[in-house]
Structure 1
Amino acid sequence: MAKQTPKKHQSPFRMSCRELVVRPEDKKEVPVIREVIREAFAPMPFSTGQEWQLVEKIRQSSGYLPSLALVALCDGVLVGQSMISLLEIEDKKKPHNALVLGPVSVLPDFQRRGIGQELIRIGIAAAKRMPLPVMVVVGDLAYYSRFGFEPAVPRSIHMPFGFDEEDYLQVLELKKGALKGVQGVIKFPPSFFDEKGDLL
């Protein structure tokens, strides 16, 4: 059985890791991962409170890639997760298969210690071994640029009509020159939407 996450507000100080292990998630860890995501996003003003549902819906979809669904264990305790899954970029000529990064979650007591960065770095390295050209993410420009992401709009890659997060849409080449000829509109799979049709 997977170890439980630390209790909320375990310490007034940020926790440290003597040993950090990043690896693919195990099915037995699903309940713990759910709580990590809930706690990680709870303080964030932009959170929908549904990020854990997104991860679980992706896990049940055809876009789920087990080798790119990662967890971070600090001294044997699961404190973070990241998900990379499939989507399409549609243009008038043809769809382009791509990857999407997110959500990435780290328990509040363990944030700002490089754990999220390590999850992303290892996830990107694993994605580069797959036969897919590009990865997209919707998030903070300054944060994700350190991993090589760049704004997507200048590359003629856009969010679906009606979504106002376009300024946060970023793209990363997984193979040199892979973005050449790739343009169009992001097509999120059904797993990314709630019953009302809103992004989770």
Structure 2
Amino acid sequence: MDGVIMIRQETEEDFRQVQEVVRLAFQGVEESDRTEHLLVERLRRSDAYIPQLSLVAETDGKIAGHVLLSEVKVVSGSDVHTVLSVAPLSVLPAYQRKGIGGMLLREAHKRALELGYGAVLLLGHEDYYPRFGYGRASMFGIRFPFDAPDACCMAMELKAGGLDGIHGMVHYPDAFGME
């Protein structure tokens, strides 16, 4: 990796290359069902999609990484709160462990805050995401609708108090194919 890394909003012209980046990024991940690239396509067609929060990392004349933050709901009784979910964060295998994922995540957080969002949730590796401020979602009273280790179900406030009063079950949009 010789070139400068540029983080920018994804464009429609990037869709095919992003699909391949996402597919390759998860190819060797044991916990993956290898359909994350299809999730990105479904999310782009959903109401949960926020174009400004679909970012690519470009270097050496190609896309090396991608992150997508989309809207999810946290529901407790009649209380419904909109937060964001990181799904997925992808870096081509040849570019992994070079800081690109962190750059994408930090820029996505910054842009999400500028758009007025207060918090982000994710299901991810318990040793990776805490360095960016994520902690156990259960500490906020937030539960995920699937069986996963508590340490991998995470939440982060983008601003102080971003999760105040928010607790309950995460409801993913239909694009996630969970119902």
Please tell me the TM-score bracket, short chain as reference. over 0.9
Over the matched positions of the two proteins, sequence identity in percent amounts to 34
How does the TM-score come out when normalised to structure 1? 0.85
Q: Secondary structure of 1:81's match?
A: strand
Deviates more, 1:17-26 or 1:181-190: 17-26
Partner of 2:31: 46
Aligned amino acid, residue 187 of structure 1:
H
Deviations 1:86-107 (A, max 9, x none): 0100001310011001201111
Q: Which secondary structure state, in structure 1, belongs to the residue aligned with residue 2 of structure 2?
A: coil
Report deviation, 1:140: 1.3
Question: How many residues in Structure 1 have an aligned counterpart in Structure 2?
Answer: 178
For residue 122 of structure 1, report the CA deviation from its aligned partner.
Answer: 0.6
* Runs of 4 or more above 4 Å deviation: none
Task: Tell me which residue corresponds to 2:12.
Answer: 27
Aligned to 1:179: 163
128, 134, 147: which one pairs with 1:164?
A: 147
Aligned residue among 156, 159, 173 for 1:189: 173
Q: Mark the CA change 1:17 to 1:89 in structure 2 (over 3 Å): closer, same or farther.
A: farther
The TM-score normalised by the length of structure 2 is 0.95
Mark the runs of 5 or more structure 1 residues left unpaired by the alignment: 1-15
CA contact (8 A) 1:34 1:52 kept: yes
- The two structures, once aligned, show a CA RMSD in angstroms of 1.2
Give, in whole Å, the separation in 2 of the partners of 1:156 and 1:17.
Answer: 44
Give the residue type in structure 1 aligned to 2:14. Answer: E
TM-aligned CA distance change 1:119 to 1:174, over 3 Å: same
- Structure 1 residues 17, 192: CA separation in 2 closer, same or farther (over 3 Å shift)? farther
Look up the match of 2:73: 88
Distance in 2 separating the partners of 1:117 and 1:164: 26
Measure how far apart 1:148 and its partner are.
Answer: 0.8
Secondary structure, counterpart of 1:109 in structure 2: helix
Greater helix share, structure number:
2
* Structure ID, larger Rg: 1
Extract unaligned runs of 5+ from structure 2.
none
SS of the residue corresponding to residue 80 of structure 1 reads strand
